[in-house]
Amino acid sequence: MRTLLVYYSLEGNTEYAAERIAAATGADLLRLVPRKAYADKGFAKFFWGGKSAVMAEKPDLEPYTADIAAYDRIIIGFPVWASTFTPPIRTFLSRHKEELAGKKVAVFACQSGKGAEKAFAKLRQYSGIASFEAEAVFIDPKNRQAEKTDQAIDRFAEILKNKQ
């Protein structure tokens, strides 16, 4: 089963999890990069990122060449902002909504606090995907590296491998 792992990462936590999952499952990676970077420090990070997420913005992304139709499964990873998925993921979904129909879709979120379950619900609603093949939540896997978190990432990857 051909798998593509699509993710956005601001501080490296989602990237850390994405790379670990891709290595374990053999998934190809697609990192979404906004043309205009989000602030990654201080008040501006929370204000502009949160505003962008709450206002359901769809930022322009740097070009990418992934052929979504060539994949059987799409894994989507993102940090949780204001209890929702990040705007670059919204842009990706708006571009590829039709191509995702009928595919297996799994999701994971990285967060410092809470809100992932609400973000998954909003992602299901926005994408039109009734249910995800698998869901996982990781607490700051890079910034607070811990064996327990790495094991949770590995379990998520193993679940996906067993569903192939």
* Domains of the chain, CATH where assigned: 3-162 (3.40.50.360)
Q: Which range is least confidently modeled, 18-22, 137-141, 152-156?
A: 137-141
* Per-residue confidence band for 133, with pLDDT thresholds at 50, 70 and 90: very high
**Nearest-angstrom CA–CA distance, 59 and 37:** 10
Q: What is the pLDDT of residues 51-106, one digit of tens each?
A: 576 667 788 899 999 999 999 999 999 999 888 899 999 999 999 999 998 899 99
In this prediction, residue 42 has a pLDDT band, given cuts at 50, 70 and 90, of low
**Phi/psi of residue 26, each to 5°?**
80, 15
Coil, strand, or helix at residue 85?
A: coil
Name the token pair of 21.
Answer: 């999952």
d(CA 51, CA 13) in angstroms, rounded, equals 21
pLDDT at 48: 56
Query: Which contacts qualify for 64-68: CB closer than 8 Å, 24 or more apart?
Result: 64/30, 64/32, 66/4, 66/6, 66/28, 66/30, 68/4, 68/96, 68/99, 68/100
Q: What is the pLDDT of residues 2-22, one digit of tens each?
A: 999 999 999 899 999 999 999
* In the block, residue with structure tokens 């894994």: 75
Q: How do beta strands 73-79 and 135-139 pair?
A: unpaired
Predicted pLDDT at 82: 85
Q: Please determine, for residue 39, whether its predicted confidence score (pLDDT) is greater than 70.
A: no
pTM of the complete model: 0.92
Q: What is the overall mean pLDDT for the chain?
A: 89
First to last CA, the chain: 6
CA count, 13 A, side-chain hemisphere, 139: 8
Report the percent of the chain where pLDDT is more than 70.
Answer: 89
H/E stretch holding 45 reads helix 42-54
